[in-house]
Amino acid sequence: MANEKPKAENKAKGGKGKEGKKGKGGGKFVLVMILAGALLPFGLPTVLVCLGLLPTLVALLTDTDEHRSTTATIGFLNIAGVFPFLLDLWLRGQTMEAALAIVKQPTNWLIMLGSAAAGQLLLYAIPPAMAMLTITQYETRVKSLKEAQEELKKIWGPDVMNVTGLDEVRKRNGG
Amino acid sequence: MPPEPAPQQNLGTGLSLEGRVNIYPDAPLPEFAATGGTVYAAQMKGAATADLMAIVCMSSMPPRAELASMMRNIDNPSILRLRESGVVHWTAHNARYFALAYERPLAPRYWRTLDETHPPMGEDALHHFFVMPFVSALAEFERTGIVHGGIRPTNIFWRDGSATPPQLGECLSAPPGISQPVLFETIERAMTLPIGRGPGVHTDDCYAFGITLALAVLGFNPLAGTDDQTIIQMKLQKGSFNTLIGSRRLPTAHIEILRGLLTDDARQRWSATDLEQWLAGRRLTPKNTDAGRRASRHFSLGGKDYWQVRPLAVGLNANIPEAVKLIEGGNLDKWLMRSLGDEERAKDVADSVEQLKNSGKTAHYDDQLVARVCIALDPAAPIRYRGVAVMPSGVAGMLADAIINNGSIQIISEIIAFQFVTLWVNAQKDSKVDLVPLAQQMERVRSMIEKSSYGNGIERALYELNPALACLSPMLRGQYVNAPRALLAALDRVAAQNPARPAEPMDRHIAAFLIARDRRSDSIFIAMGPSEVPSRRALAFLALFSELQHRYGPDEVPHLAKWVLPLLDPVVKRYLSKPMQEKMKRLIKDAADKGSLAAMAHMIDDPRRIQADEQDFLHARLMYQDVTKEIAFIENKLSHRASVAREVGAPVAATVACLVAIAMIGLTLIRAIMQSLG
């Protein structure tokens, strides 16, 4: 449902929408390339271990949220899951053997990808809970605002709702 | 029979006349009956005996209250001494009346009726005991400017031939001339309706004295049993002196004084000054100009032949349709020119007809035409219009009488509106200068009548023309409010006594009365008009009454305040805040309970409070609009719950993930450090 509006907007924009999407995807690709390029100085073994950050990469490429909350949630936990192996690699001297030893262990992949999955789990659990809390707050606020309006009407009469001139208001009140 | 001595027995409970005189309602004195009301025994406060008589003016005729203070200062043995005057609360009627407390006359009435016969008096006795005291009384009136208006044998207290000076009876309890028989009035005033005679002039009193003297000289009334119209006709045709004395033989001195007093030309008539000169021995030679000039041929009208102008004017007025034909056919003009040879009068008649045609005032054209022609023919006579004969100075009294007794106000309004008074004044040749203020006043009043706003109209004319008249508002009936200072107390009493009182303590009479007596601007009264909004009217009432309370008191008028209170509801509703309205109601009710109109006005018409209320209202409006916007914003959010979850929940999830990640990385680093350290 949340995606309907962008879709409708894209529909309204016609062909230009596709171009825009294409352009956005291109930008993300450039970003990935830059990140990958940035990892190169750390060496190929590090890059190899960083394959564990693929969920983050996927999240980055698919996240349409303006604030990149999805990417951040998955990314932070994914990084936290990959970091022990990177640290282990760097402590072993960043060799190809050490890197291969890490990537060969399925449990390592479970940890790295599982951490990303934990992030996704947070994304399933927290927003609905927060939404429920916020909506309750909103409803309480609306109720109190409506009460305030009723109070204003009680004190000043129904003309407090409109912009009628004061003389006209007095005339209506019988004054 | 001498009057009863002042009764010493129990007179009952006395009613206080302004705290100075006690009037005893249980002790009427019918032998001193007055025109304007019943006479009762009275007594000065602290005096041993009830030697006063009080005339309580209960009749529907307005008393001459404006002359009371001047009359109190007159101390002449030939004039009944007025000791006190003022308003008395008559408990039996639960009403207030104007009352006059006189010293009781020393003798009975000289004549009880005008049909009596008395032995003729000797020349010397009459001269010393009758003429001289009355000349002194007339001189006093001339000096003070008072016109008695009621000099006649039946209003004189004297014992025939007594050396004690005769005393002129009272003259203030009713309008001047109202009870004066036609016989004692000059021809002009005799032709007038009694209520329309007006105050008259000093020589009118001299004329009445002349008639009284003639009756005293003769010892009888030669015109007893003659009807008023015949008396007027006789006076018109033969003159007053000849009508009364005729060929009767009288002493030369009497003839002289009577000719002087009874001359029908007001300019030639003797005044008190002339009488004093005559008494001092200076012989005046009164002209015999009594009978009007006769024409060479008669003028036929209504089957009668007229030889003189003045009777003809009477005849024209009595035959309006025929008179109009004769005037417009030029017959009257020809008669005046050819038979009477009076070109000046013919010109005056032609001018007045021309003026009417040019004025465009075509309502009651025939009546107007004849009235105008009659003024031109007989300028001294009263204004005669649609069956009403009134002297210009009597318009005021006639208007008051019409309003008090539900008479025809319309005719009097027309007399004013058609400017007959101005025309009459312009027709007076010699005395015109003295009468110009009267014409000017009538013109001012005419403009007031033409205004229909509150405080103007015929009511304003009434109080402007009658400066001493009490307020005739129906709601003040029986209260005798003769000055603005008495108004609030009277309204308070009305409010207390009359549960079926009118909705508002104000009407056109009270408004006009206050404008005329208090010399007020009529702007505040315009705000009281029926077309005004209720809050403005109520505020105008309150502003006026609170100002009157501040100026004249009384300090507390709780009943009036409660009368005004419901009228202030629309004023309270000017406040936009409901709690403020409740507060104002409470405050003004408290002030009303204390009877303070000023406090009520101060509370309810506070500009700072009104302004603050307006500002608060505008702030409340802005607040309401802000709240409405916020509700709309939140409701919009609530209608997109998924986006709320994304917008609020996703950053929270990211934050949690961030914190967990930091913790995990931190633990990893600590573990690594620990391992490296061994």
Q: Supply the pLDDT for residue A26.
A: 61
Q: Supply the pLDDT for residue B226.
A: 92
Q: Supply the pLDDT for residue B170.
A: 93
Say if residue B152's pLDDT is above 90: yes
B420-427 and B432-450 helices, crossing angle to 10°:
170
Half-sphere exposure of A48 (CA within 13 A, CB side): 17
Say if residue B6's pLDDT is above 50: no
The partner residue sitting opposite B656, judged by closest CB among A91, A122, A146, is A122
Question: Strand locations in B133-219, DSSP E?
Answer: 156-157, 167-168
Q: What is the DSSP letter of B474?
A: G
Q: What residue has token string 């005419």?
A: B446
What average pLDDT does this structure show over B265-276? 91
* Probe site for chain A from B573, B583, B604, B629 (most A CB atoms < 10 A): B573
Q: How far apart are CA B61 and CA B64, in angstroms?
A: 9
> Do B277 and B284 form a contact (C-beta atoms < 8 A)?
yes
Q: Supply the pLDDT for residue B676.
A: 82
* Probe site for chain A from B569, B640, B648, B674 (most A CB atoms < 10 A): B648
Q: Supply the pLDDT for residue B288.
A: 57
* Percent of chain A with pLDDT strictly greater than 90: 33
Question: What string of DSSP letters covers B22-87?
Answer: EEEEEEE-GGG-BTTBEEEEEEETT-SS--EEEEEE-SSSPP-GGGHHHHHT---TTBPPEEEEEE
Q: Flag if A156 and B650 touch (Cβ within 8 Å).
A: no
Give the number of other Cβ atoms within 10 Å of residue B262's Cβ. Answer: 27
Q: Supply the pLDDT for residue A7.
A: 40
> Do B511 and B548 form a contact (C-beta atoms < 8 A)?
no
Tally of domains in chain A: 1
Q: Supply the pLDDT for residue A11.
A: 39
Q: Flag if B535 and A170 touch (Cβ within 8 Å).
A: yes
Q: Supply the pLDDT for residue A2.
A: 37
Q: Supply the pLDDT for residue B7.
A: 47
Say if residue B292's pLDDT is above 80: no
Give the CATH class of B15-103. Answer: alpha beta
A77, part of any domain: yes
Say if residue A106's pLDDT is above 60: yes
Q: Flag if B645 and A130 touch (Cβ within 8 Å).
A: yes
Show the CA angle centred on residue B565, arms to residues B561 and B570, nearest 5°. Answer: 145
Q: Which helix (H) or strand (E) holds B102?
A: strand B95-103
Size of interface A-B (CB pairs under 8 A): 162
Chain A residues lying within 8 Å of B577, measured CB to CB: 155-156
Q: What is the pLDDT of residues B157-213, one digit of tens each?
A: 998 878 888 999 999 999 988 999 999 999 999 999 999 999 999 999 999 999 999
Residues in chain B: 678
What average pLDDT does this structure show over B629-651? 88
CATH topology of domain B123-279: Transferase(Phosphotransferase); domain 1 (1.10.510)
Chain A's closest residue to B533, CA to CA, is A175
How close does chain B come to A140, measured CA to CA in Å? Answer: 11
Chain B residues lying within 8 Å of A63, measured CB to CB: none
Q: Tell me if residue B21 falls in helix, strand or coil.
A: strand
Say if residue B449's pLDDT is above 80: yes
What average pLDDT does this structure show over B315-335? 91
Mean pLDDT of chain B: 89
Q: Flag if A135 and B535 touch (Cβ within 8 Å).
A: no
Q: Please name the residues between 546 and 575 in chain B that touch chain A, using a CB distance below 8 Å.
A: 569-575
Choice among B27-41, B54-68, B523-537 with the minimum mean pLDDT = B523-537
Say if residue A21's pLDDT is above 60: no
The alpha helices in chain A, defined as continuous H runs, are 4-13, 15-39, 44-49, 54-62, 69-91, 96-104, 106-156, 166-173
Q: How far apart are CA A133 and CA A129, in angstroms?
A: 6
Q: Supply the pLDDT for residue A1.
A: 36
Question: What string of DSSP letters covers B258-279?
Answer: HHHHH-SSTTTS--HHHHHHHH
| Percentages of chain B per state (helix, strand, coil), in multiples of 5 | 55, 10, 35
Chain A residues lying within 8 Å of B623, measured CB to CB: 148, 152
Q: Flag if A166 and B641 touch (Cβ within 8 Å).
A: no
Q: Flag if B576 and A131 touch (Cβ within 8 Å).
A: no
Chain B residues lying within 8 Å of A84, measured CB to CB: 668
Q: What is the pLDDT of residues B601-610, one digit of tens each?
A: 988 888 899 9
Interchain CB contact of B521 with A (< 8 Å): no
* Percent of chain B with pLDDT strictly greater than 90: 60
Q: Supply the pLDDT for residue A28.
A: 65
Q: What is the pLDDT of residues A51-96, one digit of tens each?
A: 888 999 899 888 887 888 899 999 999 999 999 888 888 888 888 8
Question: Residue B340 CA to chain centroid, in angstroms?
Answer: 43
pLDDT band, residue A17 (cuts 50/70/90): very low
Q: How far apart are CA B325 and CA B366, in angstroms?
A: 10
pLDDT band, residue B81 (cuts 50/70/90): very high
Q: Supply the pLDDT for residue B291.
A: 54
Q: Tell me if residue B521 falls in helix, strand or coil.
A: coil
> Do B126 and B89 form a contact (C-beta atoms < 8 A)?
no
A94, part of any domain: yes
Q: What residue has token string 């990177």?
A: A86
Q: Supply the pLDDT for residue A41.
A: 65
In order of B111, B115, B234, B636, the CA distances from B226 in angstroms are 18, 11, 10, 106
Structure tokens at B262: 């009874």
Q: How far apart are CA A81 and CA B663, in angstroms?
A: 11
What average pLDDT does this structure show over B631-637? 92
pLDDT band, residue B67 (cuts 50/70/90): very high
Say if residue B620's pLDDT is above 90: yes
Nearest Cα neighbor of B89 from B10, B22, B11, B37 is B22
Q: Supply the pLDDT for residue B285.
A: 67
Q: Flag if B653 and A171 touch (Cβ within 8 Å).
A: no
Q: Supply the pLDDT for residue B499.
A: 79
Q: Tell me if residue B196 falls in helix, strand or coil.
A: helix
Say if residue B1's pLDDT is above 80: no
Exposed e or buried b per residue across B154-190, where buried means at least 16 C-beta atoms within 10 angstroms of its C-beta: bbbbbebeeeebbbbbbbbbbbbbbbbbbbbbbbbbb
Q: Supply the pLDDT for residue B589.
A: 94
Q: Which long-range contacts (CB under 8 A, 24 or more apart) does B405-410 make?
A: B405/B60, B409/B458
Q: Which helix (H) or strand (E) holds B56?
A: strand B52-57
Question: Strand locations in B199-320, DSSP E?
Answer: 294-301, 304-308
Say if residue B561's pLDDT is above 90: yes
Q: Flag if B646 and A138 touch (Cβ within 8 Å).
A: no
Nearest Cα neighbor of B266 from B404, B367, B357, B381 is B381
Q: How far apart are CA B587 and CA B581, in angstroms?
A: 10
Interchain CB contact of B615 with A (< 8 Å): no
Chain B's closest residue to A171, CA to CA, is B574
Say if residue B142's pLDDT is above 80: yes
Give the number of other Cβ atoms within 10 Å of residue B30's Cβ. Answer: 7
What average pLDDT does this structure show over B134-145? 95
Say if residue B428's pLDDT is above 60: yes
What average pLDDT does this structure show over B315-339? 91
What average pLDDT does this structure show over A22-42? 65
Q: Supply the pLDDT for residue A164.
A: 83
Q: What residue has token string 């008259």?
A: B200
Nearest Cα neighbor of B99 from B111, B88, B114 is B88
Q: Supply the pLDDT for residue B310.
A: 87
Q: What residue has token string 């010892």?
A: B219
Q: Supply the pLDDT for residue B3.
A: 47
Range of the domain at A77: 43-125
Chain A's closest residue to B579, CA to CA, is A155
What average pLDDT does this structure show over A115-141? 92
* Probe site for chain B from A108, A111, A122 (most B CB atoms < 10 A): A122
